[in-house]
Structure 1
Amino acid sequence: MTRSGRKLIAGVVLVLLLAAAMASWMRVGGGDPRALPGFLPGALRGWLGDSPLPEGFAMGNGRIEATEVDVATKLAGRLSEVRVQEGDRVEQGQVVAVLDTEALQAHKRQARAELRQAEQERQHALAVVEQRESELDFARRDLDRLQRLSRTDQFVSEEQVDQARTGVRSAEVALRASLVQVVAAEAAIEAAQASIERVEVDIADSALEAPRGGRVLYRLAEPGEVLGVGGKVLTLLDLGDVYMVIFLPTPAAGRVPLGAPARIVLDAAPEYVVPAEVSFVAPRAQFTPKQVETQSVRESLSFRVKVRIAPELLARYESLVKTGLPGVAYVQLRPDLPWPEHLEPRLPPPRSSLWPSTPPAPSSD
């Protein structure tokens, strides 16, 4: 075949690829001209195969994930109310579900009644103490009077003095017994107060609060269900901790430092490049999962690497965060090498749709 023939065939293939890319752009990108520069290279890479990365970079595929937090019951009980639906945004400390508290309210009323009874017993014991103190004072004065009379040779028998001394000891014992009753009443008051506080804590724990701000992923229980201790009601996604887990072969994983810059490109929006960084590298290697695809021949062992998106960036694009989306993460192994042009960060406008907006239809005027 002549050189001109080969050029003709190459030109036809290129035109066909461009036509296919334009068709995908019209179908996925909505025909927005602003999305074409970012979408076209990704589409062509999808048909022609990923172009080899420069030396000093590594890549792996994975899915967007976020930390999942369960909202569970501390106490067993009947679920009275669930205040959120799947997909709702909740704030930390927001009450998202409530358990029935009728039994707890009854325990609280009982504890308050016991507190009132203990306070009355304490008042009675204090009155008895005052009586015993008065009796002891009278017995001591009587003993002193008899002892003075016996020293002045007045007619006072030894028996009378002994009886007075016995009366003093009896009054002292009675006073100590009354003081013990006061202490017991005060202990009963403390126990009743502790019971009230415990019931109040249980009532407060019956209002289930979101431990973190995030989005409701699953609603696992409905009002009327009886749950045990630790029964799960909701699962939340912490949208401040979003990441992608990839697997890198041993040669690349050994050169990845924590905090290394990274880029994430999602299959759903290849025109955008999300900046991230490496937040975790597994200390032990494992066999490469079957779903992992690499540019080079698959190694027998690989390391799990977590590429995390900065929380401040997530705060700006929270409405666009969707877990489970597949994509590719690129990791910089050498900080002295610049990123390829097609991996420079490109982000959509905040609070916009994931897809490029469709340009308005031309006016009929």
Structure 2
Amino acid sequence: MTKSTARRLAVSIAAVLIILGVGSYYLWQQEQHPPAQLTLYGNIDIREVNLSFNVPGRIKRMLVEEGDKTVPGQRLAVLEQDRFIDRVAAARAQLEKQQAVVKELETGSRPEEIKKAWAEKEAAEIAFSNAQRIYSRRLTLVHTEAVSEETADDAREVRDRAAANLEAARQVWQLAVKGPRQEDIQAAQAEARALAAALALAQEDLKDTEIQAPAAGTIRVRIQEPGAIVTLGEPVYSLALKNPVWVRAYVSEPNLGRIYPGMPVEIFTDGYPEYPFQGQIGFISPTAEFTPKTVQTPAVRTSLVYRFRVIIANPDERLRQGMPVTLIIHLKKHPKSHS
């Protein structure tokens, strides 16, 4: 080995030792004096809802445009309602009719009906008594041959019919006194309940001919127009909700133990770097995953990370779905251990 070669080898070895020494010192310094803040990267997540009618029909009115703000309960679209209104009216009429039947059964016989049944029973008793007397007299005359047997048979038939009428009149009077059977009342009440349920369903269908905003938000897409026939569940609007708004971010395993739910976070956007949003860490995933390509981080793409969510306290219109943001977590402001 020549002197020049040996010299170059010694210089290379010295350089490697210096680099290793500097790296070791840097790692030791990192362990002894960890950085005051943790910088991570993520994207804005805003929930969206596809709004649709709960019944099929033809759209009569579309009341908002793309970009319009909504408040909870605001009417957004209406179907043609005539047939739904008619169904409600028909169901209500059937229920009222059945309720009258139930009331009549529950009330029982009126005093006038009982008196009428009693009078008819009394008349039937008198008619039977007269028929029985006539038959007895003619039967006696038959023995003396004053009248024919045929005449006595006719009197007996009249007597039998009077007896049957008397029994029927007695049954009518007894039913009038007792009133309707409990089974009949219960059957009528059950029918009334079924009709009440049918009316409630018809009213619910009428209510479902309107789309109302479920929450505050912004109309992102107006999908249908007046006159269109839509099926059950077919989207009419896409609504971006105002709340909740959060950041979907990822943290590497070495830094996982340095964050915890409830930890304050500052969120910076590229468009407004001087205006940080305030938030706090919410959900932290219990399992690792690969870093998504949509998240811009200085780490290697294939490294395993843990997903977590930062809830933004006071979002405004400057935040948009998918917007990249930078997260600053001030570590020195928080204790190393926590429950």
Structure 2 counterpart of 1:327, which letter?
V
Q: Is the 8 A contact 1:132 1:175 kept in 2?
A: no
Q: Is the 8 A contact 1:63 1:324 kept in 2?
A: yes
The alpha-carbon distance between structure 1 residues 292 and 320, as it changes in their structure 2 partners (threshold 3 A), is closer
Determine which structure has greater relative contact order: mean sequence separation of CA pairs < 8 Å that are 6+ residues apart, divided by chain length: 2
Decide which of 35, 52, 74 is 1:72's aligned counterpart.
52
The Cα shift of 1:116 comes to 5.9
The Cα shift of 1:96 comes to 0.8
Match in the other structure for 1:172:
174
Decide which of 305, 310, 318 is 2:308's aligned counterpart.
305
The Cα shift of 1:102 comes to 1.9
Summarize the alignment of residues 152-301 of structure 1 with structure 2, pairs less than 5 Å apart: 167-173=169-175, 191-297=194-300, 300-301=303-304
The Cα shift of 1:209 comes to 0.7
Match in the other structure for 1:55:
35
Are 1:85 and 2:85 counterparts? no
Structure 1 counterpart of 2:321, which letter?
T
Q: In the TM superposition, what whole-angstrom CA distance separates every residue of 1:276-328 from its partner, at most 9, and x where no partner exists?
A: 21121112211222333434455631111111210xx33xxx34333332221
Give me the whole-angstrom Cα distance separating, in 2, the residues matched to 1:226 and 1:162: 67
Greater Cα offset, 165-174 or 265-274: 165-174
Match in the other structure for 2:79:
99
What's the TM-score once normalised by structure 1's chain length? 0.61
The alpha-carbon distance between structure 1 residues 54 and 76, as it changes in their structure 2 partners (threshold 3 A), is farther
The alpha-carbon distance between structure 1 residues 193 and 263, as it changes in their structure 2 partners (threshold 3 A), is same
> RMSD between aligned alpha carbons?
4.5
- Radius of gyration: which is bigger? 2
The Cα shift of 1:232 comes to 1.9
The alpha-carbon distance between structure 1 residues 331 and 143, as it changes in their structure 2 partners (threshold 3 A), is farther
Q: Secondary structure at the match of 1:75?
A: coil
The alpha-carbon distance between structure 1 residues 161 and 224, as it changes in their structure 2 partners (threshold 3 A), is closer
> How many equivalent pairs are there?
276
Structure 2 counterpart of 1:133, which letter?
I
Give me the whole-angstrom Cα distance separating, in 2, the residues matched to 1:308 and 1:122: 58
The Cα shift of 1:211 comes to 0.6
Q: Is the 8 A contact 1:260 1:332 kept in 2?
A: no
Which ranges of structure 1 fall in alignment gaps of 5 or more residues?
Answer: 1-51, 146-154, 338-365
Decide which of 316, 322, 332 is 1:324's aligned counterpart.
322
Match in the other structure for 1:31:
none
Structure 2 counterpart of 1:87, which letter?
G
Q: Secondary structure at the match of 1:284?
A: strand
The alpha-carbon distance between structure 1 residues 163 and 82, as it changes in their structure 2 partners (threshold 3 A), is closer
Q: Is the 8 A contact 2:53 2:210 kept in 1?
A: no
The Cα shift of 1:212 comes to 0.3
Q: Is the 8 A contact 2:71 2:215 kept in 1?
A: yes
The alpha-carbon distance between structure 1 residues 188 and 67, as it changes in their structure 2 partners (threshold 3 A), is same
Q: Secondary structure at the match of 1:282?
A: strand
Q: Percent identity?
A: 26
Summarize the alignment of residues 104-143 of structure 1 with structure 2, pairs less than 5 Å apart: 104-115=84-95, 118=98, 129-130=109-110, 133-138=114-119
The alpha-carbon distance between structure 1 residues 297 and 332, as it changes in their structure 2 partners (threshold 3 A), is farther
Give me the whole-angstrom Cα distance separating, in 2, the residues matched to 1:203 and 1:61: 48
What's the TM-score once normalised by structure 2's chain length? 0.65
Q: In the TM superposition, what whole-angstrom CA distance separates every residue of 1:130-181 from its partner, at most 9, and x where no partner exists?
A: 4653354447778999xxxxxxxxx9xxx99998566423533577786677
Q: In the TM superposition, what whole-angstrom CA distance separates every residue of 1:209-266 from its partner, at most 9, and x where no partner exists?
A: 1010111122222222222222222222222321111111112223311011111111
Give me the whole-angstrom Cα distance separating, in 1, the residues matched to 2:53 and 2:186: 38
Give me the whole-angstrom Cα distance separating, in 2, the residues matched to 1:68 and 1:204: 23
The Cα shift of 1:183 comes to 6.8
